[in-house]
Structure 1
Amino acid sequence: MSESLITKQAIADGFKGLMRIKSFDKITISDIAKSCGLNRQTFYYHFQDKYELLDWIYYNEAISVMTEGLTFENWSSRIYRMLTQMKKEDYFYINAFKASGQKEFEAYLFSVAKELFKEIITNLSGEKEIKLEDMDFIASFFSYGTVGIIVAWAQEGMRESPEFLKERFENLVLDSKNLAVKRFLSAL
């Protein structure tokens, strides 16, 4: 691991430690730097502000866990891994999402989900050619639903288990795959 990555991880760990005791909005750059034994300048060398740090944590500790090697065949296990990672540090995600710090997380997760749903639609359409706007509409519909559920789950305190959500997603996608999407495609 590079020295820069080690420093970024130390800053992230300090920040997450502070999130256990303070709300996101009350944490300053000075607080973060102090918590990990660095000065403010070192923080600014690695991150522009605490929102960029938040995005870095989202990507490196949740999104990349899901997206690495993501395929149609393994999507539910990847979502489960991401949800499990989020649940493991629920204090952090709940606090960050309450502070409207989920926009980057939400946008990135949406783009990943949309590509996955496009793959599902392509597989279901077989030989039938689908207009790009129809493909985009269907993929967006399912992506907004999936991402919305994950964000609401975090904002509402992650009461359900990752296993429960994974099963719900599997049932919904499999049911949709066999019913709603096929009906929509046959109507085109």
Structure 2
Amino acid sequence: MSNASITKAALAQAMKECMATTPFAKISIGNICNKCGLNRKSFYYHFRDKYELINWIYETEIGHTVREELSDKHTSELALMICEYFEQNKVFYSNALEVTGPNSFRDYFERNLEPLVVQTLHVDGPSPFDSKELTAVVSDFCLSAIQRWLKSNSNMDSKQFLENLTTVSIKLAARFLELLGN
């Protein structure tokens, strides 16, 4: 492992430890650096800010793999992989998803979720819906459901969560079709 990789991994571990007990907004670069024994210069050599660090953690731990396997695996397998990963890192991602705005993990994850949603929603032939708007709405719905699940005190595992999300989605889609008169 290169020195850069070791440094990034140390910063990532420190960020995870900080977020286990402290809300993201209250964590400073100094807190992260103190936790892993590195200086601020080392942090800024590798990352612009703490937002980029969180996005890097997701990207290196699972994001890259999901994108690589998008064409090979069924979307339900990838969704389960993501949810299992979030379940294993529940406190960290519950905290990370609380943050909104530019550069936030929430926005980053939503952009990463869109190809999965597009693949899931793929419909042959013309559609009366704007596909970008539909993708955004479904991504928001899924993201909100994931955040609610991570924050809840229930013992629902990732598989049960996805089954519930699928059931709700199907019922919601059927109701919309009823309302549209189809």
Q: TM tier, shorter chain?
A: 0.7 to 0.9
Partner residue of 2:137? 141
- Answer whether contact 1:29 1:50 (CA < 8 A) is retained: yes
- Rate the CA distance shift 1:104–1:18 in 2: closer, same or farther, 3 A: closer
Partner residue of 1:129? 126
Q: Which consecutive residues of structure 2, in runs of 5 or more, have no partner in the other structure?
A: none
Q: How far has the Cα of 1:55 moved from its partner?
A: 2.0
- Answer whether contact 2:55 2:108 (CA < 8 A) is retained: no
Q: Distance in 1 between matches of 2:121 and 2:105?
A: 24
* Percent of residue pairs identical: 27
Q: Distance in 1 between matches of 2:136 and 2:143?
A: 10
- Rate the CA distance shift 1:141–1:153 in 2: closer, same or farther, 3 A: same
Residues 115-171 of structure 1: CA deviation (Å, up to 9, x unaligned): 33333444x32xx3347x632333333222112211222344575321111222444
Partner residue of 1:92? 92
Q: How far has the Cα of 1:98 moved from its partner?
A: 3.7
Equivalences, count: 181
Partner residue of 1:165? 161
- Rate the CA distance shift 1:72–1:108 in 2: closer, same or farther, 3 A: farther
Give TM-score scaled by structure 2 length: 0.76
- Rate the CA distance shift 1:62–1:3 in 2: closer, same or farther, 3 A: same
What secondary structure is seen at the aligned counterpart in 1 of 2:37? Answer: coil
Q: Distance in 2 between matches of 1:37 and 1:165?
A: 38
- Rate the CA distance shift 1:103–1:45 in 2: closer, same or farther, 3 A: closer
Q: How far has the Cα of 1:56 moved from its partner?
A: 1.6
What secondary structure is seen at the aligned counterpart in 1 of 2:69? Answer: coil
- Rate the CA distance shift 1:145–1:71 in 2: closer, same or farther, 3 A: farther
Farther-moved stretch of structure 1 (53-62 vs 33-42): 53-62
1:57 and 2:57 matched: yes
Q: CA RMSD in A?
A: 3.5
Farther-moved stretch of structure 1 (161-170 vs 59-68): 59-68
Q: Which consecutive residues of structure 1, in runs of 5 or more, have no partner in the other structure?
A: none
- Rate the CA distance shift 1:38–1:112 in 2: closer, same or farther, 3 A: closer
Q: Residue type matched to 1:84 in 2? A: E
Farther-moved stretch of structure 1 (95-104 vs 55-64): 95-104
What secondary structure is seen at the aligned counterpart in 1 of 2:6? Answer: helix
Within 5 A, what are the aligned runs for 1:1-188?
A: 1-71=1-71, 73-100=73-100, 104-122=104-122, 124-125=123-124, 128-130=125-127, 134-156=130-152, 159-171=155-167, 175=170
Q: Residue type matched to 2:4 in 1? A: S
- Answer whether contact 2:94 2:150 (CA < 8 A) is retained: yes
Q: How far has the Cα of 1:107 moved from its partner?
A: 2.5
What secondary structure is seen at the aligned counterpart in 2 of 1:110? Answer: helix
Q: How far has the Cα of 1:46 moved from its partner?
A: 0.9
Q: How far has the Cα of 1:62 moved from its partner?
A: 4.4
Farther-moved stretch of structure 1 (42-51 vs 110-119): 110-119
